[in-house]
């Protein structure tokens, strides 16, 4: 958790009524309750100042999961601002060439005739009707997740966009609803946006697209805030961090009360979503005595 306040109010807030002490007590209690890392901070100009933290060392790298979607969205808007993309124009003409290079069928062959109306805005706002590759369904009981099952069955499989889009429950030949009709969360939207970005920026291969370039237009002071971000495409967390992640969901018979849960440190599918789930960050915080854990899902 990160709290942002006005710079002029920082000093008075931290010194008033023992606020720092109270926030540290909250951080300690929640870190112990959930066996996780937590930080509470304030933003002062271009620097984030830790107010209270617990459960993390300064070199810990965390998998950000779907938080990465904000960066994909910003990159999309940058292209629109540069006049390279109309957010409300159909994207099939842009996507079909890169889908073909991946050995996939056209957008309409994958998702039906209605897919010809899908725009970048539909994808970014979860209004395309494209089925979700991440299949977690808590109801009806028992909770199931076919994608997790596949990932755990083949933990070293290097999932890419082609494998995700071509899943039997994704490439169904039809949409789940007419584009723009309603909102329904689907990480496949952002996999397609990643392909769109790769195509529009001239990357011949999907994994040649460098999402970090979206930070280039920022002033130097702002870029410094993101200096510890890394954008990954292939592999498992074990290749980039010593911090283990655990899946504590009840999907496929898992026990959410069991500690620590299923270790996904060596599971390549953790980063399967690419531009939908591919960011890690070194979080600078005060050192703590105990080891921290990141609780993530197989396709977080």
**Known catalytic residues?**
66
HSE of 92, CA atoms in CB hemisphere, 13 A: 16
Greatest Cα pair distance in the chain: 63
SS3 242: coil
How many residues can be counted in the chain? 300
Report the alpha-carbon angle 250-236-205, nearest 5. 120
| Alpha-carbon span 72 to 226, nearest angstrom | 15
| Alpha-carbon span 288 to 39, nearest angstrom | 12
Query: What DSSP assignment string belongs to 29-51?
Result: HHHHHHTS-EEEEEEETTEEEEE
Instruction: Give the containing element (helix H, strand E) for 61.
Output: strand 61-63
């Amino acid at each position: 958790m990160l709290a942002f306040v006005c710079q002029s109010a920082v000093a008075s807030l931290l010194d008033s009524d023992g606020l720092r002490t109270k926030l540290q007590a909250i951080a300690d209690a929640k870190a112990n309750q959930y066996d996780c890392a937590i930080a509470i901070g304030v933003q002062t100009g271009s620097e984030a100042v830790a107010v209270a933290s617990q459960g993390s060392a300064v070199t810990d790298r965390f998998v950000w999961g779907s938080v990465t979607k904000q960066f994909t969205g910003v990159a999309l808007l940058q292209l629109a601002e540069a006049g390279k993309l109309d957010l409300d124009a159909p994207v099939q003409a842009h996507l079909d060439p890169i889908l073909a290079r991946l050995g996939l069928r056209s957008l309409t062959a994958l998702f039906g005739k209605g897919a010809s109306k899908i725009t970048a805005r539909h994808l970014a706002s979860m209004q395309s009707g494209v089925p979700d590759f991440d299949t977690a369904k808590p109801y009806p009981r028992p909770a199931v997740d076919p994608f997790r099952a596949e990932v755990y069955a083949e933990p070293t499989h290097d999932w890419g966009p082609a494998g995700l889009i071509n899943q039997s429950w994704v490439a169904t030949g039809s949409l789940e609803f007419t584009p723009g009709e309603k909102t329904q969360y689907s990480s496949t939207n952002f996999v397609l946006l990643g392909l769109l970005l790769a195509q529009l920026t001239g990357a011949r291969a999907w994994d040649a697209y460098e999402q970090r370039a979206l930070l280039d237009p920022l002033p130097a002071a702002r870029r410094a805030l993101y200096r510890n971000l890394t954008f990954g495409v292939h592999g498992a967390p074990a290749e980039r961090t010593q911090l283990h992640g655990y899946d504590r969901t009840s999907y496929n018979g898992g026990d959410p009360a069991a500690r620590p849960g299923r270790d996904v440190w060596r599971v390549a599918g953790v980063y399967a979503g690419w531009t939908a789930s591919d960011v890690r960050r070194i979080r600078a915080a005060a050192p703590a005595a105990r080891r921290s854990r990141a609780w993530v899902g197989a396709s977080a």
